[in-house]
Each structure stands twice: as structure tokens, then as C-alpha cells.
Structure 1
Amino acid sequence: MDTTVNGEPRVLATDAAVALIDEIRRDYPDILFHQSGGCCDGSSPMCYPTDDFIVGDHDVKLGEISGVPVYISASQFEAWKHTQLIIDVVAGRGGMFSLDNGREKRFLTRSRMFGGGEACAIPGVQKVV
């Protein structure tokens, strides 16, 4: 699977997300993201220590943000394959098992449809593949 569509990365991060990633990596140097498909924590991007999460055979790697791999289930990817995901941060509590929990800010996925090569309109987005 290609981590870009027409040269645009499938996943990006805002500056705020990169700052929170850096904060988490001080405590947990090796982490990964898995885009949740619903259930307990809605559809939040969940951040885990690499050793505490088993990437499934059917998970799809979307790319990397700030050197951290981002995965999504194959069924969720099928629904969102025409969408660029932008990992951002908002105030609040993170997912119950996600490493952003307890930091009074949490990761949030924003998105935009691929097509036409339009620029992402979210300020502070870092294009990291």
C-alpha cells in the first residue's frame, strides 16, 4: 500500500500533535498510533507503546508522523481510503488505554478528501511521510 495519494501523504500531524508526541516519547520512546474504528473510545487515534500493541495481519500502515508509524484496520482503511487523516490535539482526556490519557489533552483525527491537489487548510500541519 502506498503511503501517498498523488504525492500527498495519507497521514499528517499538526504542530500541536508533534509536540504531544515529543512529550509522550520522553516517557515512552517507542510508540505507534492505531486509528480506532469506534467502540469504547469512538474513532480516536490511539497511541500505544510499540511493545504493548500487536499490529494485526490486516492492519494497514498509513505512514509516519514525527517518525511514529500510524496504522488503521483494513476495513476502516477501505472506508477512508480517499481521505487524508490529520492527527491533531484538543483539550480533554485521551482514550482509556492511549498514552495521551491523563495529560489533559488528547489526540483527535481530522480529515479531508483527496482530490484536486488542494492544500490542507489546517494551520500548523506538518507534512511528514
Structure 2
Amino acid sequence: MANSMMVIAPYRYEEMWVFDDPQAGLVQEPFVSGIPQMIDRLVIDIPEADQGFKLIFAQTPFPGYQAQLEWLRPEFGGHWYRWSAEKMDGWLCPALFKYFADAPPQLFCQAEAKSHDL
């Protein structure tokens, strides 16, 4: 396990949640198929989340995590995960493998506000 905790900064673009990660070669990488609804639930109490927020994620639990996603199955090169506590399923595209060698059996996530100062 190279990096045990990772962070990206999703934001809304063209009414979709996307993120940039220059180190991973990703620009406006969209979240699709159930994941946007999960993000909406995670950021419900974060003001101006659509302008960007911090999404911390790991394959092991960490203090303050808000969501525990369980691996369901592969499909179209990506993987389906279930957030049982919210009765939601979502598909993570193959960009998942920019962060993990294999699809983790579990993912733990936390959303935090980020500074929007110029």
C-alpha cells in the first residue's frame, strides 16, 4: 500500500461532479453512475461545496470517516461499490487504478470544506 490516505478536490463543472489530479494525469474527470448522488449526500452540510471541497479517501478506516463503501462487482473496467448506510450504489471508473493497484474491498471517505480564498 503506497499511500494509505489520499485527497482530491471535486467541484461542479457543467452540472457534474469532476476532479483534477495533475499527478495522476486527470483533468475534469467526472463521477458518474450513482457516485454524484453519494457526493451530494456527503457534502450536504458543506457551504459552497460545488466550488470545491476536499474528499479524503482510504482503503482502511480513519478517524472522522463519513462513508464506508463495500465492493460489489466489476463492470466496464470500473467497479461498483455500495454505501449500505445510505442504501446507495455507485460505479467508480478505471481512474480508480490511478490510486489503487487493485479495487479495494472497502473504501472509506470523508468530505471537508476547503478554503475558497483567493
TM-score between the two structures when normalised by the length of structure 2: 0.30
TM-score between the two structures when normalised by the length of structure 1: 0.28
Task: Indicate the structure with greater strand content.
Answer: 2
